[in-house]
A and B are shown apart, each in its own frame.
Chain A
Amino acid sequence: QLQLQESGPGLVKPSETLSLTCTVSGGSINNRNYYWGWIRQPPGKGLEWIGTIYYSESTYYSPSLKSRVTISVDTSKKQFSLKLSSVTAADTAVYYCARHVGYDYVRGSYRLPSEYYYYYMDVWGKGTAVTVSS
């Protein structure tokens, strides 16, 4: 059963770069049926999508974070990573990594990767808390 585990510093100074890694175990990161993404949740607030990557080929970023975000994949290590630059206290949150999948119940098959807009997050990591503070 596929599992995801986030790792990285729990404390980052303002103006520095937040770097997190998500390690995939119990399954393949190379499966072209899946996208891989990052979502965060500030304390006491809702979920916010950060960005998503497909097989090192395509990346999608939240417009509000796009200028500061980079997501990459290292298939040899079965990991994908998040870098968020110039952080402020507003970036304090629990950061989750998640697998995106698009299963068409009616057709009984996975949607094409080009139909990513139908995808949802079916497997989540447990999350890692990151505080931005000096």
Chain B
Amino acid sequence: QSVLTQPPSVSGAPGQRVTISCTGSSSNIGAGYDVHWYQQLPGTAPKLLIYGNNNRPSGVPERFSGSKSGTSASLAISGLQAEDEFDYYCQSYDSSLSGWLFGGGTKLTVL
């Protein structure tokens, strides 16, 4: 069971803004470790979407943004498009586990 908790699914209409939460604890996000986000189409490799809480790698649209506060982080997607239908995973480091960990993943559905 992941110690980073994400909602199993979120949905939104085209053009809308959706957010995906990632709730951790004092041994990971709350300890100050960065949160990173990945985008995955089932059957393919994950792709880095956001690193260092709120930074976008080259080629990632500005519609994607990240934030972190306390023991939680969020991924926001504005101007939702049909091609945004992916699974999204948050990732951080946990001092209790002494290792990297992923959230359980969130499936985004564009209505």
Kindly state whether residue A121 has any CB partner on chain B within 8 Å. Answer: yes
Which residues of B are found within 8 Å of A118, using beta-carbon distances?
Answer: 33-34, 52, 93
A121-B91 Cα distance, complex, nearest whole Å: 9
Which residues of B are found within 8 Å of A96, using beta-carbon distances?
Answer: 45-46
Kindly state whether residue A61 has any CB partner on chain B within 8 Å. Answer: yes
Interface residues of A in 110-125 (CB under 8 A from B): 117-122, 124-125
The minimal Cβ–Cβ distance linking A102 to chain B, given in whole angstroms, is 8
**How many A-B residue pairs lie within 8 Å, measured between CB atoms?**
72
* Chain B, interface residues (CB within 8 Å), range: 20 to 34
Which residues of A are found within 8 Å of B93, using beta-carbon distances?
Answer: 117-119
B99 adjacent to A104 (CB under 8 Å): no
Contacts A46-B102, A49-B99 given; indicate if A120 touches B51 (C-beta within 8 A): yes
Interface residues of B in 70-111 (CB under 8 A from A): 89, 91, 93, 95, 97-105
Binding site for A on B (CB under 8 A): 2, 33-34, 36, 38, 40, 44-48, 51-52, 55, 57, 89, 91, 93, 95, 97-105
